[in-house]
Amino acid sequence: MKTIGLIGGMSWRSTLEYYRIINELVGERLGGYHSAKIILHSVDFDEILRFQGDWKRLGEMLAEIAKRLEFCGADLILICTNTMHKVADYVQEAIDVPLLNIIDVTAEEIKKAGLEVVGILGTKFTMEDEFYREGLRRYGIKALIPDEEDRKTVHRIIFEELCFGVFKESSKEKLKGIVERLRKDGAEGVVLACTELPLILSQEEFEIPLFDTTRIHAEYAVSFALKG
């Protein structure tokens, strides 16, 4: 079994989900008392938020962490958040082991589902900057984003509620309304492009497919770790 390196803490609540899902999947596939080999570097999220916008600085910070994980024996690196994949290429260039890109593996799942148009829910950086939409576009997938007011709502719910473990029914209903508006605009599915969003939204509540990026990322990491 290969060792998975996690860059977590953004936020720690979603990093918990990575740890849980990865270990559960390894246990299911190998049986017995098996669990995953994981090295976790959990950042102080406040330090990351302070520099959001200075992407060069953040790229350097995450690259240094990735190099430490590689030095400690990680065979694969995951950045446990969607937004910071804005600097994923910079991080990959700094290490010799693979960085499993959350956008690439999510695109693979969208293609498997036979979809060509999806909506994106995430932080304002993920929704508004081109890196996520461009990443999906490379796979022939068109990405729709909510209107400005809905984008503000999603961003606020993520940072003012979900990152603090606050899950309001009223906020869930607002998010469901945003998903419905994306569907009406032509989205065949919706990407939960923030690792906190699966903490409040689940597939059972929707008719169109939701792509849980946390679980998808974790599943591909396990497949890599157990390969061969």
Q: Which residues are catalytic?
A: 81, 194
- Lookup result for tokens 């974790």: 218
The H or E element containing residue 167 is none
The H or E element containing residue 211 is strand 210-212
Cα 219 from Cα 17, distance rounded (Å): 12
Cα 61 from Cα 166, distance rounded (Å): 29
Cα 145 from Cα 178, distance rounded (Å): 10
Cα 223 from Cα 22, distance rounded (Å): 10
Residue type, 33: Y
> For residue 205, what are its two tokens?
């509540």
Residue type, 28: E
Can you state the angle between helices 12-30 and 213-226, rounded to 10 degrees?
40
| Sequence-distant contacts of 53-59: CB under 8 A, at least 24 apart | 55/86, 55/87, 56/90, 58/84, 58/87, 59/87, 59/90, 59/91
